[in-house]
């Protein structure tokens, strides 16, 4: 809950003067009973670990390695030539592995 430190402070005597009805009314006014998010819609977007995805198809277009790319001999990832750190014994090493 946010606190306004510039607001004038109330004495303990003043705090005891609030009636129970006033306190309940303040609490009800500050709380909203409406929920903005539909739980069913949110739940549909989550994937549970171990979920059966056997009937799902994944289509990814795989491109062959381009002429300006190389495969690192240590991490085996394909990088652009600008990521080449050095070449040792014919093995190309990327800057991340160097």
State the pLDDT confidence band at 31, using cuts at 50, 70 and 90.
low
State the pLDDT confidence band at 48, using cuts at 50, 70 and 90.
confident
Stretch 61-86: mean pLDDT, rounded? Answer: 94
Burial (CB < 10 A; 0-12, 13-18, 19+), residue 45, is exposed
3-state SS, 43-66, equals: HHHCCCCCCCCCCCCCCCCCCCCC
Domain assignment of residue 66, yes or no: yes
Full domain range(s) for residue 77? 61-98
Domain assignment of residue 88, yes or no: yes
Residue from 33, 42, 97 nearest 71 by CA: 97
Domain assignment of residue 93, yes or no: yes
* 72 C-beta neighbours (distance < 10 Å), count: 20
70 token code pair? 């190389």
Domain assignment of residue 82, yes or no: yes
Domain assignment of residue 91, yes or no: yes
Domain assignment of residue 23, yes or no: no
Stretch 4-27: mean pLDDT, rounded? Answer: 69
pTM: 0.41
Domain assignment of residue 92, yes or no: yes
Strand ranges, E, within 1-98:
69-71, 78-80, 84-88, 91-94
Domain assignment of residue 84, yes or no: yes
Count: domains in the chain: 1
């Amino acid at each position: 809950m946010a606190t306004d430190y510039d607001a004038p402070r109330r004495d303990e005597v003043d705090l005891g003067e609030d009636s129970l009805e006033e306190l309940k009314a303040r609490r009800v006014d500050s709380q909203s009973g409406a929920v903005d998010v539909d739980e069913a819609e949110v739940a549909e977007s989550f994937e549970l670990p171990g979920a059966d995805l056997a009937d799902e198809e994944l289509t990814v277009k795989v491109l062959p390695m381009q002429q300006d790319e190389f495969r690192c001999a240590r991490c085996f990832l394909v990088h652009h030539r600008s990521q080449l750190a050095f070449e040792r014994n014919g093995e190309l090493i990327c800057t991340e592995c160097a």
